[in-house]
């Protein structure tokens, strides 16, 4: 059983989706801790209601980012995770912290990376006139939203869409995409121990696509 630690800064809807999916007999993973940089994060309430250890740790004025991350990830590592999942975790993790982690870390981001790293992705997609939008799961590296891409879910941009419209439809896809990725890692189909990552023993030439609730290689990457 893959031990998963989840990092979240907000309401925790992706955590809820991961938790629901983990209850399936064949999920292959269990959430063993939830950690936040926000004392009032809804994700903490979700975790505690499910009996999962939950901790919020805010940055002290005297701490720089590296010091904060060192303390934060000391707590994360105490639950002995095999995988760390950033599910709406809004802090940039320092390169020093990542270098000291022995387990992989993945993140879900609301755009079709490499388009629109960072914030305000839905508005930026509309401003660019994109006809397609979506979300991506990638390996976390020191460069913001630039780690190896693992999988993506796509939606069509409709005439008259607002950023809120896109956000709602993308979030629905995220709730399927992130559990599918964690399940694929837990069952050994998606391997992060090599670079590029491998899926079913083959190097990923392009991000996997979400079909129904499962991941498949792109037909024409």
3-state class of 167 per DSSP?
helix
What pLDDT shows up at residue 221? 52
Among residues 175, 179, 215, 213, which one has the least CA distance to residue 198?
215
**Containing structural domain, residue 46:** 1-103
pLDDT average per 10 residues of sequence, the chain (221 residues): 98 98 97 98 98 96 90 98 98 95 97 98 98 98 96 98 98 98 98 95 96 86 52
CA distances from 61 to 64, 66, 67, 122, 212 (A): 8, 13, 11, 32, 46
Q: Are residues 75 and 128 in the same domain?
A: no
Does the residue 139 lie in any domain? no
Does the residue 138 lie in any domain? no
Q: Is the separation of the CB atoms in 151 and 210 below 8 Å?
A: yes
Does the residue 140 lie in any domain? no
Name the residues annotated as catalytic.
109
Q: Are residues 99 and 25 in the same domain?
A: yes
Q: Which strands form 202-203's sheet, in the order they lie side by side?
A: 190-191, 198-199, 202-203
- Write the CATH number for 76: 3.40.50.170
Q: Are residues 159 and 199 in the same domain?
A: yes
Q: Are residues 112 and 97 in the same domain?
A: no
Q: pTM (2 decimals)?
A: 0.96
């Amino acid at each position: 059983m893959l031990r998963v630690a989840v990092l979240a800064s907000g309401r925790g809807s992706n955590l809820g989706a991961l938790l629901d999916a983990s209850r399936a007999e064949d999920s292959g993973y269990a959430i063993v801790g939830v950690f936040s940089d926000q004392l009032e994060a809804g994700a903490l309430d979700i975790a505690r209601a499910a009996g999962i250890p939950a901790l919020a740790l805010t940055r002290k004025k005297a701490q720089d980012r590296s010091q904060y991350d060192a303390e934060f990830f000391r707590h994360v590592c105490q639950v002995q995770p095999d995988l760390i999942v950033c599910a709406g975790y809004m802090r940039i993790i320092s390169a020093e912290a990542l270098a000291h982690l022995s387990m992989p870390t993945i993140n879900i981001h609301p755009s079709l990376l490499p388009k629109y790293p960072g914030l305000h992705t839905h508005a930026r997609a509309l401003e660019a006139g994109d006809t397609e939008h979506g979300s991506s799961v990638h390996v976390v590296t020191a460069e913001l939203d630039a780690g190896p891409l693992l999988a993506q879910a796509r939606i069509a941009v409709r005439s008259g869409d607002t950023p809120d419209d896109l956000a709602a439809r993308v979030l629905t896809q995220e709730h399927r995409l992130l559990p599918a990725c964690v399940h694929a890692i837990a069952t050994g189909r998606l391997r992060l121990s090599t670079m590029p990552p491998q899926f079913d023993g083959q190097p990923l030439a392009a991000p996997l696509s979400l079909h129904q609730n499962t991941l498949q290689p792109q037909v024409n990457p």
